Each structure stands twice: as structure tokens, then as C-alpha cells.
Amino acid sequence: MSLATTQSIADIRARNKQLIEEVLKVYPEKTAKRRAKHLNVHQAGKSDCGVKSNIKSIPGVMTIRGCAYAGSKGVVWGPIKDMVHISHGPVGCGQYSWGSRRNYYVGTTGIDSFVTLQFTSDFQEKDIVFGGDKKLVKVLDEIQELFPLNNGITIQSECPIGLIGDDIEAVSRTKSKEYGGKTIVPVRCEGFRGVSQSLGHHIANDAVRDWIFDKLEPNGTPKFEPTPYDVAIIGDYNIGGDAWSSRILLEEMGLRVIAQWSGDGSLAELEATPKAKLNLLHCYRSMNYISRHMEEKFGIPWCEYNFFGPSKIAESLRKIAAYFDDKIKEGAERVIEKYQPLVNAVVAKYRPRLEGRTVMLYVGGLRPRHVIGAYEDLGMEVVGTGYEFGHNDDYQRTAQNYVKDSTLIYDDVNGYEFERFVEKLQPDLIGSGIKEKYVFQKMGVPFRQMHSWDYSGPYHGYDGFAIFARDMDMAVNSPVWKKTKAPWKETPRAKLLAAE
């Protein structure tokens, strides 16, 4: 059991403040000054978490962040299943991001769906020296010939593209014309742009606006008859099937989901979204841009929601229903009621096993705040959280709706800081990524990957909550954590505390 639960808020605040001071001591002066702005102890009632964010990472500190290419190809575009996404540049980027995000989809891979294929122009030295546009032309031709059922192509730029002055937009226009108006989307998501994945999301959103929405025929005939209940799921990447376990609830309450962005999504769904009556935004960070654009251009309102854990799910279902008539409002109540026995059974089974346990999070996108409610539904307490690539609006949402007083906040945390914080706070569970997983497990701390759901999932929706609860229980209460110390050696925690 962690220390936090036995202390008062004031004690915890003082301890966390002191911890930040201690951690900053390791840095050269200039770095300490910069990092100090990203670490804080949350104070109840404040409008944000009191940290700076979306600022360049400091060289050499082992930031956990990725790049704009990861934000565009890896997050936003990659899951669109019927388009071919070219990792344009050297071989590595596409290789390392091949199939690792678990964006589930239904389709005949390699024939009409392409998510788990790695298409790359595999740049060689001569492409850098002489430019890669000619190669890109040929790549597009070869895709057309070998994958005739693709519905479109995106070009995901890797670092060299922007540095060698290639004109991928010109190539896209020319080839699109040649192929009878085929959708070909150039994306300027070179990895050196911006400070993290975040700018890649924005660039990818803008590419949808410029190369898909702006090319739609304004009075084109819809492919289906619109209804007053048409909505789109925005910012759900269907990791382990998340979008599916969300969609089923929306449809049960009487709405009709006409598009998924972008997990298990298709070009036709992107194109149909301007017909939606309401855009439902799950991952605000990665898709608020296109939601705002659709609001301005097409007058579609958008509504943030949270499908982690029964409290937030019920709150969200009601919030969504409020945009519609009584039929939908009743539908929302019906859905909440239908799943209540499942929720009760899950909580009855797992809450006693997890009550009072503390959690530290460090993730990207929406999860540093969105999953807090799900933990609380199980009686767990989040004592520290931070965003890999959040902006201030994320920290505002976190402060106003999610974290408790005196929670430790760490923006763009690095390996060193995260380890020190964990050593001191001694949480019962950490939720973060693959790069962190084994570090903390070595330290004997139970861990769940909260990007990939540790190869489990879905975690969204009521069905997902049961899986979430099961997984947190199996992490925290695995018998292996009682075996980390050889019986003939002293217990490490006691020693650590005594030394302090």
C-alpha cells in the first residue's frame, strides 16, 4: 500500500513540492530552470495544472515523446483502412510503426485494406542527392498497378522530404489528375516539425481539410439518406476495438454512427462526415482541429465525451443525448440501465481487490485525464499524471474535471524524473508506455501499458470497463510481485525508506 493514503493533503503537497525540488537538482542550471516550469503540484480550484506545455523537449534528457510523423501516420492517418499510406523517406519510420498501434479493422488486408502493410519509398542516398519526386511518381504508379482496389493514397513525409525540397504536393496533384481525380493526400509531417506528435496531428487534420473536404463537390448526392440522428465518432483509433465498444452504445441509444475517425475508418466515412448532425470527440488533442473546422465550415457542433469507466460513460451518454430529442434522451437512460447490472457485478468483483490502491499515469492524447474516472470507479486513486504532448487546454480540462488536490503533475517527463517520482510516491500501479513498462516492472511496480492496452482491450464503453477492471486487477494482484526479493535478502522498500 502506498504512502499517500496515510497522509494529509498538506503533507502530500509538501512532499511533492520537495520531490520536485530534489529532482531538479540533477540538472545543469539552464535545464533546471526550463524543467521547473513543467513540474507542479496541482492546487484545487485552479483553472489549469500550473505547468507549461507543448514546448520543445530538452536535448539529452530522454524524453518519452515521438515526432510529427508518428502523430500523422501513426495516429491520425494510419488507421484509415482503404487507403494506402506511404512512409515516404528512409525505411526505419515505417518499420518501427508497422502494426504496433493495434488499430483494429475489418477488411481483406492487401486487397481492399492496407493498415497492417508497410509501404515505403525506402530512400537511398541517390534519392537524397537528386530528390525523391521521381521515385514518388513511380511508387504511386506501382501502388495503382499492384493494389487496384485502394480508395486513395496518402504520402507521409519523413524528415528528409522537407529538407531536400521535394514538391510532394505537385506530384500529388499531377497523379491525382492522371488517375481521374483519385484522392492522393500529401502530408508534411516531417519528424523535425514541432515539438512532439502533436503538430503531426494538426498537420494531418489540416490535410483532411485541404485534400479531402475542399475537394468534395458541394452539392454532391449523399451515398445514404441522412437522418436527424447521424453522428460521427472523432478521435477514436479503435485500439483493441475501442471504437466498436463505443459505437455499440451510441447505436443502442438510437443514434446512427456514419463515420469513425479514424479507427476502422474509410475514405467514404471521412467524406460523409460533413453530413453529421453532431461530432463526438473522444481524443480532443489529436482531432479538435478538424472538429473546429467542421463547426465553422459546415455548422456541425462537437461534443467531447469520455467512455472510460461507468461514471464518465453515463455522464457522457446524457451529455450527448442532450443535443437530441426525447427519443435519444430516453435511449441514453435505457442504455445506462441496461448495463448497470454489468457495472455492479464488475465493481463488486474487482473494487474490493483494488480499493485504495494508487496509480501514476504518464500517457498521451486524452488518457492522462480520461482514464482517471475509470480508476476511481474501482476505488483507486491517481496520485500523479502528465501528458507526453498535451497543450494548456488539456491541462485546463484535467484541472477542472479530473485531478484531485495535490496530485503531482509532470509534463513531458523524462526517464530520470519519472523514476525518481515513482521511487518516492511508491504507487501500486503505473500506466504508461512500452519504453517505461520494463523499467518499472524491474523496480517491482505493477504496470499496464496505456497506449496499446498491453495487447488487451477494448477499454472503451461498458464492455471495455469489464476488461479494464480485470486487467488492472491482474497487474496489481499478480502473485509475481511478492517474489521480487529473494527470501535471504532484506526487503528493498524498508531499506529505501530508512535511507531517506
Partner 1 sequence: MAQSAEHVLDHLELFRGPEYQQMLDKKKMFEDPREPAEVERIKEWTKTPEYREKNFAREALTINPAKACQPLGAVFASVGFEGTLPFVHGSQGCVAYYRSHLSRHFKEPCSCVSSSMTEDAAVFGGLNNMIDGLANSYNMYKPKMIAVSTTCMAEVIGDDLNAFIKTSKEKGSVPAEFDVPFAHTPAFVGSHVTGYDNALKGILEHFWDGKAGTVPKLERRPNQAINIIGGFDGYAVGNLREIRRILELMGIQHTILADNSEVFDTPTDGEFRMYDGGTTLEDAANAVHAKATISMQEWCTEKTLQFVAGHGQDVVSFNYPIGISATDDLLVALSRIGGKDIPEQLARERGRLVDAIADSSAHIHGKKFAVYGDPDLCYGVASFLLELGAEPTHVLSTNGNKAWQTKMAALLAGSPFGQSCQVYPGRDLWHLRSLLFTEPVDFLIGNTYGKYLERDTGTPLIRIGFPVFDRHHHHRSPVWGYQGGLNVLVKILDKIFDEIDKKTNLLGKTDYSFDIIR
Of 268 and 303, which has the nearer Cβ to partner 1?
268
> Residues 414 to 433: which contact partner 1 by CB under 8 A?
414-416, 419, 433
Tell me the per-residue interface mask from 226 to 265 with partner 1, x by CB under 8 A, - otherwise. Answer: --------------xx--xx-xx--x-----xxxx---x-
Q: Which of 148, 220, 299, 479 binds partner 1 (CB under 8 A)?
A: 148
**The C-alpha cell that represents 151 in the structure block:** 480508395
95 counts as binding partner 1 under rule CB under 8 A: yes
> Residues 99 to 118: which contact partner 1 by CB under 8 A?
99-100, 104, 106, 108-112, 116-118
> Residues 298 to 337: which contact partner 1 by CB under 8 A?
none
- Rounded to the nearest whole angstrom, what is the least distance from the CB of residue 67 to partner 1 in the complex? 2
Q: How many other C-beta atoms can be found within 10 angstroms of the C-beta atom of residue 221?
A: 5
In the chain, the amino acid numbered 253 is: M
In the chain, the amino acid numbered 9 is: I
Of 13 and 102, which has the nearer Cβ to partner 1?
102
**Site size for partner 1 (CB under 8 A):** 131
> Residues 157 to 186: which contact partner 1 by CB under 8 A?
158-160, 162-164
Of 50 and 107, which has the nearer Cβ to partner 1?
107
- Active-site residue, 14 included: no
> Residues 60 to 89: which contact partner 1 by CB under 8 A?
60-70, 82, 89
> Which of 70, 272, 283, 466 is the catalytic position?
70
222 counts as binding partner 1 under rule CB under 8 A: no
Site stretch for partner 1 (CB under 8 A), options 130-138, 213-221, 320-328, 379-387: 130-138
> Which of 35, 65, 85, 101 is the catalytic position?
101
272 counts as binding partner 1 under rule CB under 8 A: yes
434 counts as binding partner 1 under rule CB under 8 A: yes
- Active-site residue, 67 included: yes
> Which of 38, 201, 357, 367 is the catalytic position?
201
Of 93 and 399, which has the nearer Cβ to partner 1?
93
Site stretch for partner 1 (CB under 8 A), options 307-315, 326-334, 370-378, 409-417: 409-417
- Mention every residue, 6+ apart, whose C-beta is less than 8 A from residue 497: none
36 counts as binding partner 1 under rule CB under 8 A: no
Of 12 and 86, which has the nearer Cβ to partner 1?
86
Of 8 and 221, which has the nearer Cβ to partner 1?
221
30 counts as binding partner 1 under rule CB under 8 A: yes
379 counts as binding partner 1 under rule CB under 8 A: no
Tell me the per-residue interface mask from 437 to 456 with partner 1, x by CB under 8 A, - otherwise. Answer: xxxxxxxx-----------x
Residue 165 CA, chain-centre distance (Å), reads 31
Q: Which residues are catalytic?
A: 67, 70, 101, 201
